[in-house]
Structure 1
Amino acid sequence: MKNKTMNNFKLTIVFLALSLSFTSIAQNTELYSYSFGEGYNFENANGSTIKLQGYIQPSFESKSFTNETTETANRFRMRRLRLRLSGNSANQRFSYRFQVDLAGANEVDTEDNNYLLDAFVSYAITNRIKATFGQRATFTDNRELFMNSNALQLVERSRLTSAFASIREFGLFLEGRFRTGGGSQLKSYFVLTNGDGANVFAGDRGGLKVGGRLDFLPFGLFTNFGQFRQADVVRERAPKLVVGVHLSQNNGMSSRRGRASGSIVYLNANDEESLPDYTKYGIDFLFKYRGFSAIGEYISSRASVPGDITQRVRNNGTTSTTFLVNGAQDIENYVRGRMMLGEAYNIQMGYLFRNGFSIDGRYTHLIGDEHSFLNNATFYNRPNYYTIGVSKYLSRSYGAKIQASYTHVDGKLGINDLQGNAIMGNENLVRIMLTLAF
């Protein structure tokens, strides 16, 4: 009941903030342009600008197993219903973004009522260096998290993203963009956050998370923000490529991957919090040319477990000194077994025909450490994901499209069904989704 009341309170605040924002737009600005799928642009007499965007994604998903005794699970729902308000000050130095998802599901398909997505203010220190403070998608995740959800090639993001991404964080974000000769560009990013994920109402746990990313674009910038969109809707006339590396260190993490603060807590003999550190690094690329697009990602994670842990906090708040691994007390490997440790790579590509049809494919491979939550049979322990998809773009933009995909999941390592029962067989996913943006 307490969680439901808090969620209703947060939703009320969201609607109130949106109402006040829209009232401000109506009173102080005028509409000067609109592009289907790209949003409404407003301008004030003093030169400040406001942009209003949004999209809706109703979807259907069917999950089945090759074990004939396991029932098929079907689900109809609103996958995303997002509204974004952004803008710039009159001198263009200050900018902001406020984005909510009224469907209440996060980016990796867990229904957690996280309505608030983005809430930040940016300041352009120079024409090429920008500082941002607030909550936003972090630059130390894999490249797919750079992509807007309404611009994905396939119905859902890859399993690499759901396994390792922290998605959104609160803190300081620095961006730099520099010309490096011959039309090439170098983009640098620095991140300093609380490391606890998005929208943390409880006290921060552990230390800070620090990280960075370097992106190199040898052929210059993509057309129409194409670096942040998957399918090549604009059909790049010249090859476009970005290659990047990223690294982050989360000092004292109280969750599996830095996404849900306080979900996993350990104590020392003095009843003080003692939390593991989490290191993540990776390399990725995006390529586009004349309707063809390809994305490649590799990511790896490691953990450092403190030697003074003596207790763990249960979900009900009580503590336990039991850390059993294979029937024996093993504190370090018990802690590792609750974290997302290992590596993964994801490769996907597709071609968008001139008639608006797109054919896409993806292969994702996960490799869990010996002691890792990636070996959990109910949610993971599936090393290979094979996905094919077809999309129909109903306009020459990302404004409207219909997508369908089929994913075959390899269950050879031993998996559980939706009720936690061990089964012999593989998993199959069929997804259909409509996207309509304004």
Structure 2
Amino acid sequence: MKILKLILIPCIWILISQVRAQEVQLNSYEFGEGLRFQTDNGSNFNIRGYLQPGMEVKQYTSDNEFGSLNRFRLRRARLRFDGSSSNERFKYRFQIDLSGSSEAGDDTESNYLLDAYVSYDVTKRINVAFGQRATYTDNRELFINSNALQLVERSRLTSAFASIREFGLFAQGNFKTGNISRLKPYFVLTNGDGLNAFGRDFGGLKVGGRVDFLPFGLFTNFGQFRQADVVREQTPKLVIGVNYSYNNGMSSRRGRNSGAILYLNDTDEESLPDYTKYGIDFLFKYKGFSVLGEYVGATATVPDDITQRVRNDGSTSTNFDVAGMQDVQNFVKGRMMLGNGYNIQAGYLFKNGISLDGRYTRLNPDDNSFLNNATFYSRPNYYTIGISKYLSRNYGAKIQTSLTYVEGDMINDFQSNPIDGNEWIGRVQLTLAF
């Protein structure tokens, strides 16, 4: 909580100082891109946000007494504040989600605070940020804002392996390597527990990085961070990157929820597994056509001195039963997201604003991995087709629908009852930004 205050107080102070300035003027407004204000001393302040109400229907291919699952909800209701000093070297961002929905996954709690960080341009090519934000060590889809997704939802690869947001130190560079080509290195040092831990911070630190290469120069209008090719790039644009991270002592399935899974040794001291993640991905755009490809792998190292596990109620147990045997190593790994997977998706946006998109996602769990959990995972193949209608020339308004066929492997339904069959998931969503 104290660390969070260190971030919020500077953001609020900068905001108040701008409001108290002698003159604040609306500099510009573009539907879907927000309002941009400027003070008489040259400081900038931006407000933007969006709503995403939607519906989801899940149906099983086999006879099931529970039938289908229908869900109506406000998926996201986000409000974002960005600002910079008069010389634009100091910047900040504060973003909240009033819907309270988790971004993705099975062990992510609802959180209203998304981003809260301050950044500083050390040079024209190097920027350093401190606080809570989306991390650079996830797959490329996490670089894309939720209102700029090509399909209704992110791929299952993201929900399986991504930590989404983390608290710590983030550095990035932007260097020319030729006439137009660019190299963008990233470095991350975080607490390794996902979103800001309001209670005790378990485990050690997480260190990682990413290197992106753009051989044909920068995308138009931040297109590297938006999926569909709305601007219709007139020359081919490509970014390809690799990422790696090492989490020293992780207390959750993939580094999202501090203290969710704990282990002890004989002396009642914490003994936690280490988690390594790596990946390679790319994004290509040209004249309305776009392709996104991602690969992620994850492994774990389990300490030899683990003798106890902590239950949800705080009590401890020495039972590490796996297939009728005491097996600490495989028991611990069986509660983590281990294995690999890939996601490939493509689409074409016509000039009339209609986009046709398709996606295939594959998950390959290790023999001992939570990816084998029959209720949440144990579903290796995901096939998705989608149709979107963009109601504006940018991402200000759009209607999206998608249909996903999921192949399961001895799966359970949403109430943990075994079923003999696969799944169909239909989604419809409206995005309205200001």
Could you say which residue in structure 1 is the equivalent of 2:306? 309
Match of 1:139 among 136, 150, 163: 136
Instruction: List per-residue Cα deviations over 1:323-380 (Å, max 9, x = no partner).
Output: 0000110000000000000000000000000000000000000000000000000000
Q: Is the counterpart of residue 94 in structure 1 residue 90 in structure 2?
A: yes
Q: 98-107 or 209-218, which moves further after superposition?
A: 98-107
TM-superposed CA distance for 1:24, in Å, is 3.0
Could you say which residue in structure 1 is the equivalent of 2:417? 421
TM-superposed CA distance for 1:113, in Å, is 2.6
CA distance in 2 between partners of 1:107 and 1:191 (Å)? 21
TM-score, normalising length: structure 2 = 0.95
Match of 1:235 among 232, 236, 241: 232
TM-score, normalising length: structure 1 = 0.94
Could you say which residue in structure 1 is the equivalent of 2:34? 39
Alpha carbons 1:116, 1:199 under 8 Å: kept: no
Could you say which residue in structure 2 is the equivalent of 1:347? 344
TM-superposed CA distance for 1:106, in Å, is 2.2
* Structure 2: segments with no counterpart, 5+ residues: none
CA distance in 1 between partners of 2:21 and 2:229 (Å)? 35
Q: Which amino acid aligns with 2:270?
A: E
Could you say which residue in structure 2 is the equivalent of 1:218? 215
Instruction: List per-residue Cα deviations over 1:245-298 (Å, max 9, x = no partner).
Output: 000000000000000010000000010000000000000000000000000000
- Give the direction of change, closer, same or farther, for the CA distance of 1:27–1:137 in structure 2 (3 Å limit): farther
Alpha carbons 1:409, 1:427 under 8 Å: kept: yes
Match of 2:44 among 46, 49, 58: 49
Alpha carbons 2:18, 2:39 under 8 Å: kept: no
Could you say which residue in structure 1 is the equivalent of 2:333? 336
**Structure 1 segments (4+ residues) deviating >4 Å:** 20-23, 25-28
CA distance in 2 between partners of 1:238 and 1:249 (Å)? 37
- SS for the counterpart of 2:230 is coil
Instruction: Summarize the alignment of residues 25-424 of structure 1 with structure 2, pairs less than 5 Å apart.
Output: 29-69=24-64, 70-108=66-104, 112-411=109-408, 413-424=409-420
TM-superposed CA distance for 1:26, in Å, is 9.6
Alpha carbons 1:114, 1:199 under 8 Å: kept: no
CA distance in 1 between partners of 2:112 and 2:16 (Å)? 17
Q: Which amino acid aligns with 1:245?
A: V
Q: CA RMSD in A?
A: 2.0
CA distance in 2 between partners of 1:341 and 1:28 (Å)? 55
CA distance in 1 between partners of 2:320 and 2:206 (Å)? 27
| Equivalent pairs, count | 425
- SS for the counterpart of 1:423 is coil
Q: Which amino acid aligns with 2:60?
A: F
CA distance in 1 between partners of 2:18 and 2:314 (Å)? 44
CA distance in 2 between partners of 1:355 and 1:26 (Å)? 44
TM-superposed CA distance for 1:418, in Å, is 1.0
- Give the direction of change, closer, same or farther, for the CA distance of 1:432–1:21 in structure 2 (3 Å limit): farther
CA distance in 1 between partners of 2:390 and 2:21 (Å)? 32
Could you say which residue in structure 2 is the equivalent of 1:3? none
CA distance in 1 between partners of 2:109 and 2:429 (Å)? 20
Match of 2:428 among 424, 429, 432: 432
